[in-house]
Amino acid sequence: MTHILAIDQGTTSTRAILFDAEIQITGVAQEEFTQHFPASGWVEHVPGDLWDTTLSTCRKVLADAGLTASDITAIGITNQRETTVVWDRATGAPVHNAIVWQDRRTADICRDLKAAGHETMVTDVTGLLLDPYFSSTKIKWILDQDPSLRDRARAGELAFGTVDSWVIWNLTGGARHVTDATNAARTMLYDIHKGKWSSRICDLLDIPMEMLPEVLDCAADFGATEASILGASVPILGVAGDQQAATIGQACFEPGMMKSTYGTGCFALMNTGGLAVKSHNRLLTTIAYQLDGRTTYALEGAIFIAGAVVQWLRDGLGIIQDAKETQALAESADPEQDLVLVPAFVGLGAPYWAPDCRGAVFGLTRGSGPAEFARAALESVGFQTRDLMEAMKGDMGENAQSGTLRVDGGMTASDWAMQFLSDILGAEVDRPKVLESTAIGAAWLAGMRAGVYPAMQDFAKGWARDRQFAPAMDADTRSSKYAGWKKAVEATLSV
């Protein structure tokens, strides 16, 4: 057994990545699946698509590499977080489509809970704000659709899981209903201080605790694949939600270290060590990872639309055919135009938390075209990241990290976008040699648990930088451009 298989189940595609004994990638298989938008602000996946693409990519990457399941030491899983699946334990059939983390249908439920004065308690227990982003109100919504579902859940007939739980359930042939602490921490049902499900919040939302999975460390025995699935039984030894897995993959193991991942959304996490820092700037307090029963916490800021804004340029406006085109377009944009795009397609995340807000464009002229839209789209990601950094500095004060931001994810391949990020932050941005930080994090968890990968400190020494971007924008321009962004957001929120 010479390889670790990492499963990266994301929002728009599923990937299977093979890593060798040196934690180097030796094979990748990827498959996209359909996004469903049944109503404005609603986003769903067919749970079967998530499992089918997991299975097909795992089989394909093994076949392409000329390996069999017997060559795999262990499996590590990382996944889109908060996305909610409820299924029948006896048949494995979902009772509803998966409700995706981006979905805003439970905004009214959250608003009612806030009006009733419950947000302080929920935040104190879970570290999260009352927002449709998280799993708990999605579960409630599903159960509310059919009176019999809640009764079946109480009888132990139904199971809830984030996507990791759903994938593990299927990989193990229904033998294990488990999750890890990082995914549990994103449900808005988990007490991150006591390390257990909150009966108080479950009672508040009328969610039967019988449907919740067992919570384990990030590196633990999550079960083993049913032999018929991959050709041999393989242990599943590592699990972390995608942003926590990226934090691990970026070796942000010391308090104050920070990473930002640019995928469909953008998620910045700052390691706060054993201290669960309560945010005063509407950030989230969450679990960075849990190993050997010890919890490490983080502050997190979530941007809902990052890479998705480039997808919108491609699929919504049709002004590009490939994401790579945005760099050349941005470079050719008219410097005299100052187009500002607020990509609140599914609301605004941290630090605004405005689920009903929708996108807007400011500064349009007759001369505004594809180049100006492309530049504004890329700049919007930098502006939103600065919003998060400002909030983190406000919460951490003197304990805030020294200024260097480690980045990963698909958008970081754009030198233009990363240079603008450095410019607008006024800070250095480090891009690693291997951008697959999320998959590396999942692979390391499994390989470390299996005893084939190094311990934390030695793993951290292996982190390598591809390029550092240093700010080149003058302070006045930086201040002026950010002020324009803040003005645009204020106007968007006021509509």
Q: Determine contact, residues 104/41, Cβ cutoff 8 Å.
A: yes
Do 288 and 208 reside in the same domain of the chain? no
Do 417 and 377 reside in the same domain of the chain? yes
**Could you read off the pLDDT of 471-488 as tens digits, one per residue?**
999 999 999 999 999 999
d(C-alpha 363, C-alpha 340), whole Å: 6
Do 327 and 410 reside in the same domain of the chain? yes
Question: CB neighbours of 280 closer than 8 A, spacing ≥ 6?
Answer: 394, 395
Q: What are the respective helix, strand and coil percentages of the chain, to the nearest 5? A: 40, 25, 35
Q: Determine contact, residues 444/249, Cβ cutoff 8 Å.
A: yes
Tell me, what DSSP letter sits at residue 431?
E
CATH code assigned at 89: 3.30.420.40
The model's pTM: 0.87
Do 426 and 374 reside in the same domain of the chain? yes
**Could you read off the pLDDT of 426-456 as tens digits, one per residue?**
989 999 988 788 999 999 999 999 999 999 9
Residue 174 belongs to a domain? yes
- 233 three-state secondary structure: coil
Range of the domain at 84: 3-242
Residue 274 belongs to a domain? yes
Do 260 and 232 reside in the same domain of the chain? no
Sign of the Cα pseudo-torsion (244, 249, 250, 254, in order): positive
Do 227 and 256 reside in the same domain of the chain? no
Residue 442 belongs to a domain? no
pLDDT above 80: residue 395: yes
Q: Determine contact, residues 188/201, Cβ cutoff 8 Å.
A: yes
DSSP 147-209: HHHHHHHHTT-EEEE-HHHHHHHHHTTT---EEEHHHHTTTT-EETTTTEE-HHHHHHHT--G
**Could you read off the pLDDT of 205-231 as tens digits, one per residue?**
999 999 999 999 999 999 999 999 999
What tokens appear for 477 in the block? 């321009």
Mean pLDDT of 49-58: 97
- 393 three-state secondary structure: helix
d(C-alpha 158, C-alpha 150), whole Å: 9
- 156 three-state secondary structure: coil
Last residue of a domain, one of 225, 242, 259: 242
Do 223 and 264 reside in the same domain of the chain? no
List the one residue out of 355, 314, 341 whose CA is nearest residue 138: 355
Do 402 and 262 reside in the same domain of the chain? yes
Please report which confidence band the pLDDT of residue 402 belongs to, taking 50, 70 and 90 as the band edges.
low
- Per-residue pLDDT, 77: 98
- Per-residue pLDDT, 23: 92
Do 24 and 114 reside in the same domain of the chain? yes
For 292-389, strand residue ranges (E) read 294-303, 340-342, 360-362
- Per-residue pLDDT, 400: 57
| C-alpha distances in Å from residue 79, one per residue of 380, 410, 421 | 25, 16, 26
Q: Determine contact, residues 140/207, Cβ cutoff 8 Å.
A: yes
Mean pLDDT of 147-174: 96
Residue 187 belongs to a domain? yes
Residue 450 belongs to a domain? no
Last residue of a domain, one of 190, 225, 242: 242
List the one residue out of 229, 224, 230, 238 whose CA is nearest residue 175: 224
Across the chain, mean pLDDT equals 92
Mean pLDDT of 347-351: 82
Residue 269 belongs to a domain? yes
**Could you read off the pLDDT of 89-103 as tens digits, one per residue?**
999 999 999 999 889
- Per-residue pLDDT, 1: 64
Do 100 and 188 reside in the same domain of the chain? yes
d(C-alpha 287, C-alpha 284), whole Å: 10
Residue 443 belongs to a domain? no
Sign of the Cα pseudo-torsion (108, 112, 113, 115, in order): positive
**Could you read off the pLDDT of 3-35 as tens digits, one per residue?**
999 999 998 899 999 999 999 999 999 999 999
| Total structural domains within the chain | 2
Last residue of a domain, one of 185, 219, 242: 242
Please report which confidence band the pLDDT of residue 265 belongs to, taking 50, 70 and 90 as the band edges.
confident
Do 167 and 202 reside in the same domain of the chain? yes
Do 256 and 392 reside in the same domain of the chain? yes
Residue 72 belongs to a domain? yes
